[in-house]
A = this chain, B = another copy of it.
Amino acid sequence: MSAYTATVTVRLKRGVLDPEATTTQRALERLGFELEDLRSADQYQIDLDAANADAAEDRAAEMAERLLANPTIHDYTVEIAER
């Protein structure tokens, strides 16, 4: 067993309204910043032990499927690093 950190990033799919991002973008613009677009995402860094990096990635992807992401509205990516 080796120690890994899985970084799961959960984003809204294109076309899904993101009122939090819209509000944040407007607030930045009110502060005088110029920006074209802003998107927000949730990121989870998960420390886990697994036999190898593939096993760690599979487990983190299953966590995303079952709890961290809602497949109707979210896309997610998983990155694995040794810890």
Q: Measuring CB to CB, which residues of chain A are less than 8 angstroms from any residue of chain B? A: 3, 9, 21, 24, 27-28, 31, 33-49, 59, 62-63, 66-68
Contacts and interface: CB of A to CB of B under 8 A. Distances in A.
A51 to B, nearest CB: 12
Contacts of A62: 33
Given A24-B68, A28-B67, A33-B59, A41 B39 contact: no
Nearest to A59: B33
Taken together, the copies of this chain in the complex come to 2
Given A24-B44, A33-B59, A34-B48, 5 more contacts: A35-B46, A35-B63, A40-B42, A40-B44, A41-B44
9 contacts: A27-B67, A28-B63, A33-B59, A35-B46, A35-B48, A39-B45, A40-B42, A40-B43, A40-B45
